[in-house]
Structure formats: C-alpha cells, structure tokens
Structure 1
C-alpha cells in the first residue's frame, strides 16, 4: 500500500511540476511581472531584486520542469525531493502571505492559463506539500527507471530544451497565448458586461483621524463618530466580487480625451505597444518610422500605446522623429496586451488579427 501511494504521489507531483513549469516557461516575462509585485511595495519592499526578476523567473520555472522530470525518472531521489520540499515551502509562504495580507491577487502559478485566487493557490501548495512529504518519508520506494547514463542524458536534455524554450519566447512570442488579447479576440466585446452578470457588493469604508490615529468606520458608524474626528479618506471594500470582463482596463487617451472607441471602430489599425518608452528596445524603436510609412500607405491608422509620462513621450517622439499619435494606456494593461517592448498589434474593427515581436517585424502582414 505504501508503495502504491508513493508511486501515485511521484506521478502527481512530477506531472504537476512539469505542467506548471512549462506554462510559466511559455511566458517567463509574465511570471517576472508577478515577482516584481512581490519585491515591490507594499509586499516585501526589496527593490534591489526587481532588476533580476526575469533571471529569477527563468531559473525557477526551468527548475520546476527539471525537478518534475528528475522525480519521474527517479534521478538522485534524495536531492530531488529535498529540492521539491524547499521549493513548495517557499511557494506556500508566498501564497499564504498574498492571501492573508491581500496583496498579490494572483500568484501566477499557472500563468494566464488558469487564474487562482490567493487562497486557492495556497490550498494547492498545501496539497503539493502533503504529497511531497509522502515522498520524503518513503524515498526507499522510488527507484530509477533507467541506467545512470540514460538518466544523466534525460536530465541534461530537459535542462537544454527548457533553456531553449525560454530564450525563444523571450525573443519572440509565447508559443501559446493564454492572455485575453490573443489573436481572434474582439476587444470591444471582451469589455462588455452582460445585463444578467452578477454585480459586486461593495462596502464603503471611511477613514477618520481620532486623537491623532487613523481609524476605519463603516457607513453605519458615521452617525456615532467620536467628537473631533477629522475625515482622512474613503475606500471601497469588495465584499462579493461580481463579474469582471476578460478585458477591463483597456482605455486609450490623447491629451486627456478618450480615444478607445475611435481606435476600436477603425477598419485597419496598427498599434505599437510600448508600456515603457524609456525601457523600449532601441532597435525596435528605430524600425517604427519605416513601418509607419508602409502602414499609412496601405490605409492603416498608426499609433503608439504607452504608459509613459508626457515628458518621456515628447522626448522619444523628438529623438526618433515620430510624427504620429502616442496614446496613453495603463502600463499594466499594455503588459497584458503583449510582452515585447515594443511589439506590434494589428486590429480590424477592434479584433486582434496579428501580434508580432520587434524581432519579427518582417513577419507583419499589412
């Protein structure tokens, strides 16, 4: 019986680690954005590590895949299980912290393929911990499946293939796009909220300074405020989350005026997505003017979408001699549209027809 439970645990943990790792390896930049949240305020406030998040993300996701393979083939059992145990303890701490303090809303355990709430993520990690502990205490039942040479070859191959996959998707596009802006998506329809959709239940919380200390009061408490209480702020607390459309933060503005509907209603649009123009790839920016001429000659509306400030936009337009619109959009939303900075998105009446990395600009079909 112990042997059966151990082998089941071995398969369950190994396969889950490989699947989870491959999904994140398909989009390591997306996972690095999650790590940015953990290293930034108001979570751990460790800004020094933000510059290394992509490298850390790549290391962790490749490690997930390789450890899954090592467990399945029975390679260096003791070292493998110890590594799995330490990794799942780390993940459990992060997901518990996210859930308890309500900071990172989605840990990104399965990328954009499957969104889990913080408590769901923590529960998943506890289940994994349970099965890994079974493996930890029953290591004698885990035997190698192949000879030592074949085992070494399989592990090295898994490392090499994972590294190649990571390099490819960073320098091109994810092999499978799980995000809400994937090709074929109509952005306008994805922003709609059905009339029958459940509504959010929100409680208004009022913050007053009482004897020099900020205290929270509900709407019912306002009739009995302490004498001398001074209003500080008001915030909304979500009691029940209603329906949230797949796309809910895509808003384009120009000089403060909403341009979203205007852009989505055009027959042919070429949107150059650069969430941060200061961090945008120089080679990619240098290709834009030539592309702009080609696109406008074929009747395309061309605009840059960016989350950069007005001063940065002005400086970049002057530096690269851009004579077309730069529309402002929330940087987080733009990171979801496309990971490359810059990248190129073609729309037809608001429907995404093509997405291209700046390294593959020659593949654009205009």
Structure 2
C-alpha cells in the first residue's frame, strides 16, 4: 500500500461517514467541514492503531530521533538542550505509548465532536510536532555527515544516505514512507489543522455530552491496556515486521542479496577539492576521466555513488547475520538446518560490570636436576623435577565482576530452561542469541543463569526487530519462522511438542 492509496481509502471512508451523518443530522450541516473532520479523525485513528499494535517499534524510532537531536544540539547554539535528549531516550517507551494513545483518542474526539475547540488545538499542536520531525528527517538529507544541521553554508545536494533518521515511523512498520513524502504529507495535513482553528464551531457533534465524555474516557483506558498488552504481556497482536510468524528468512535473504548484487552504479557525486563545487557525473564519464586524466584524483574527490533501485526492496532481513563470539558467521548453518531450532533471543540484558582488584598467590619452586646413568646403554639422562617451595609472592590482578538483572535471570531459570529441558529431542536443538554482550560477559551469564547450549551474538537492533520480548523464544526450521513466544506466553511442553514440533505427523504451520 502507498500513501496515495491509503489517503484514498480514508477519503472514501470519510465521505461514507459524512453521508450517513447527513442522513440523520441535516440541521446546520456543512459537508465540507464534516468531511475534513471525519478524514482527519479516521486517519489519526488508523495511524495510531498500526503503531499501537507495536509500541516498542515507535519507542525505538523515538530513540533514533532523540539521538539525532542530541548530536544536532551539541554542535550548535542549542548545546544547552543536548543533555535533555538522553533522558528522553530512557523514557522513550512511555512517551511512545502516550503519543499513540493521544493520537487515536484525538481521532475519536474529532469524529464524535467531543470538546471541539480543545480537539482543534490538540490537532494543530500535534501536526506541528509531526511536521518538525518529518521536516528534520527530510532536510538532513542536505546536510553532510561532517556538518551540523544549522551550518547552512555547508548544505549540499539532497542525498538520502546523509539522513540522520531513515524514515519517520508515522505508520509504524505498516508503511515505510520516504522522508520527503512524509514531510509533504504533514504539510498537507497542516491545512485541516489550521482549518479547525477557525471552523471548530462548525464541527458536528454526535451523542450527548456525557456519552461523548464516556466514549473518550473508556477509549483512553482501553487503548492504554491494548498498548501495554502488545509489549508487556505479549508480542504485537498484528505483526507488520519482516520477521513475522511464517516468514521464510532463508529464501527472502537470498532474494534480497541477489537483488542487491544486480544493483548498478549510475553516477558518482564528486567534489572539487579547491572550489568545493559538487557535480553529478555519469558512471561511464567518471571511469573515462579517472582513466585518461592523471590529475583527476588530485582535483576531484568522490563523495557518493548513485545506484539503481534493487528489484526487491531491502528489508531488515538483509541484516540477518548471526556470529559466533570469535567472529565466524553462523547464519547459513542456522538457516540451512532442517531440524527444529528453538532460539532464546535476548536483544539487551541489563547488567552491571565493576572491575575489582584481587590478590592471588604466585608460587616459585626450587628446580632439581637429576642425572642418571644406564649401565646397559651407557647413556646418561637428565630429568628436571619440581622441588620444594622457594618463594610465595602475592600479586594484584584486576577482574570484571558481573551482576545481572534479577528479573531476566528469574525468567530464564524458572520459565525458559525448564521448558527446554522438558522438550529435548534429537530433532530439536537449542541456541541463544544475545545482543550487546562480550564473550567474557556471555561466559559469566552462562554461569549465573545455567544456560548450557551454544551461544551466538547479533546486532541488538536486529534482535529487537525479530523479538520485542526480552527474553523470548523463536522456533525455526530450515530458515523459516514457525512461531514466536513472549516470555509471558510460553507454551506448555505438551502443546509445543504436538502443535509445533510435528510429533503427531501433521504439519500445522
């Protein structure tokens, strides 16, 4: 689905609702006001809902924005604001839920006409907020990576690879909009936002005042519970991510890699080292200049490549790479395994590491040399043996001590490991995939938790895309995701065997 088709569907729904209301409420009725009111309300409800099914996805996006804002403020006249954004990053999940619920409730308020003036001003303020976010995302495409956003003299031609945040997240993982399209979308929506400020008295109202208030309050409570259920108690109820249940990672990864390999270089962006003038040079001309002009590399520097679009869009599946802790890729080994693989996924584990000084004893022994003579062979042999203790020296060494999140250890030890122990089978293997841990950290975690099966590492952002639960379980077979479980929704051993491990002989996935 594209943003154009989405707007078309919303417009049709708004027109239908406006017609229905016209049939029952003809007095003092303005179809244009009514249509704009319904269009904005339905769009906000839909936009909020596709994010409400996965609040953590929006939280991750907000963290990206806060990081970009912090970096921008640090190198500008707004440096005093930079410390604010790391604090906001810690509150990203709560901020995400607040914004999602506010967006949907505001859509409901618009449609039923509750507190029309308040709804008009809230819509205006939120649209300013969204427009700033999407505008910043888009405009950073003009800012080189070594320049600050406010250094306008250093801005160059638009380059999407320079953007600090790759997409706005306006519709979660349901639709990925190009920043320019998203910015234009918000500029268009600023028109009804301004319209409502002057025409709020013309917005129709449904039901009585008490009923409108009841609908708004109950919606707020229900939406809060719905958002919480989609990350505290369970995985997203509707999964728009590329790693949803049933996804064939192996096949999709091969297709995306093949499409990337077929991408062609169309042109180069080059810059004159002295004048700083930038040019876009066709690929063939660039090669000819590089080959025939010996001074070309001295005068010009290559900034970027302009490439053709891949036949299959790149998704997060292209980043699927599982490594051993010595850096060896285990991706193909895991994807090609025709056994069931139950993977314990932990995107990030809270831990505290302190370096402590320890005293150890280093013992020095006397060395005795024994020379023996063999009369038969008439050969001498020399044997060096350890004698008595000569000196005991105490020396200080530093060692890292790890303390782990008690809640995480409790989940692993009381829920996950007992489940795995009860479903052991020759056709089932267990692995752990961690994000953000060193090899030393994993060794210590294994000691603390009792995990005794192979452990691997992966990018924490990749693992967060695969599994919102931390920790959670993913069942794989031949590179396909059979099922995923939040740690609050783990199956009974019997159900796991019968429903998912195919012990009955009936494939149900």
- The 1-side partners of 2:270 and 2:411 are apart by 47
Which of the residues 317, 322, 334 maps onto 2:451? 322
Aligned twin of 1:262: 333
Distance 2:327 2:476 in 1: 23
User: What CA RMSD, in Å, does the superposition of the two structures yield over aligned residues?
Assistant: 3.0
Query: Which residue in the other structure is 2:396 paired with?
Result: none
CA contact (8 A) 1:9 1:132 kept: no
Q: Say if 1:252 and 1:73 are closer, same or farther in 2 by CA, change over 3 A.
A: same
Counterpart Cα distance in 1 of 2:418 and 2:225:
31
Q: Kindly report which structure 2 residues correspond to 1:1-366, keeping only aligned pairs within 5 A, or say none.
A: 3-41=30-68, 42=71, 46-101=85-140, 102-171=163-232, 172-193=234-255, 199=263, 201=265, 223-224=295-296, 236-242=304-310, 243-246=312-315, 247-254=317-324, 255-266=326-337, 267-278=339-350, 281-282=407-408, 283-286=410-413, 287-297=415-425, 299-310=427-438, 311-362=440-491, 365-366=496-497
TM-score (norm 2): 0.65
- Find the structure with the greater CA-based Rg: 2
Go from structure 1 to structure 2 and tell me whether the alpha carbon gap of 1:118 and 1:159 turns closer, same or farther (over 3 Å shift). same
Check 1:235–1:252 CA distance in 2 against 1; reply closer, same or farther (3 A cut). farther
Helix, strand or coil: the match of 1:346?
strand
Moved more, 318-327 or 178-187: 318-327
Relative to structure 1, the CA distance from residue 306 to residue 224 in structure 2 (aligned partners, 3 Å threshold; closer, same or farther) is same
CA–CA distance in 1 between the matches of 2:169 and 2:209? 35
- SS of alignment partner, residue 488 of structure 2: helix
Greater length-normalized contact order (CA 8 Å, ≥ 6 residues apart): 1
Distance 2:164 2:308 in 1: 17
Q: Which moved more, 1:199-208 or 1:122-131?
A: 199-208
Helix, strand or coil for the counterpart of 2:263? coil
Larger deviation, residues 28-37 vs 315-324? 315-324
C-alpha displacement of 1:69? 0.3
State the alpha-carbon separation in 2 of the partners of residues 328 and 167 from structure 1.
Answer: 28
Offset at residue 244 of structure 1 (A): 3.2
Q: 1:95 to 1:315 in 2, by over 3 A?
A: same
The 2-side partners of 1:319 and 1:272 are apart by: 16
Structure 1 portions without partners, runs of 5+: none
Any conservation in 2 of the 1:37–1:43 contact (CA below 8 Å)? no
Q: Describe the shift of the 1:304–1:203 C-alpha distance in structure 2 as closer, same or farther (beyond 3 A).
A: farther
Query: Does the CA contact (< 8 Å) of 1:295 and 1:302 recur in 2?
Result: no
Per-residue deviation at 1:362?
3.3
SS of 1:251 mapped into structure 2: coil
Does the CA contact (< 8 Å) of 2:116 and 2:200 recur in 1? yes
Give, in angstroms, the shift of residue 277 of structure 1: 2.5
Structure 1 position 170, deviation (Å): 1.4
* Equivalent in the alignment of 2:366: none
For residues 37 and 173 of structure 2, the distance between their equivalents in structure 1, rounded to whole angstroms, comes to: 26
Displacement of 1:200: 5.3
**1:52 Cα deviation (Å)?**
0.2
CA apart distance, 1:150: 0.5
Q: 1:272–1:305: 8 Å Cα contact kept in structure 2?
A: yes
- CA distance in 2: counterparts of 1:54 and 1:241, whole angstroms: 34
Secondary structure of 1:327 counterpart: strand
Distance 2:267 2:59 in 1: 33
Do 2:112 and 2:206's aligned partners in 1 also have CA atoms closer than 8 Å?
A: yes
Contact 2:419/2:492, CA 8 A, preserved across alignment? no
Verify the 8 A CA contact 2:29 2:204 in the aligned structure 1: no
After superposition, the C-alpha distances for 1:69-108 in whole angstroms (9 at most, x for unaligned) are: 0010001111111001100111001101011101111111
For residues 215-257 of structure 1, give each alpha carbon's deviation from its aligned partner in whole angstroms, at most 9, with x where no partner exists: 9998668834559x9x9xx875455443434311001111211
Q: Which piece of structure 1 moves more, 310-319 or 199-208?
A: 199-208
Cα distance in 2 for residues equivalent to 1:363 and 1:81: 50
SS of the residue corresponding to residue 40 of structure 1 reads helix
Say which SS state the counterpart of residue 345 (structure 2) adopts. strand
Counterpart Cα distance in 2 of 1:258 and 1:192: 16
- Comparing 186-195 with 17-26, which one deviates more in the overlay? 186-195
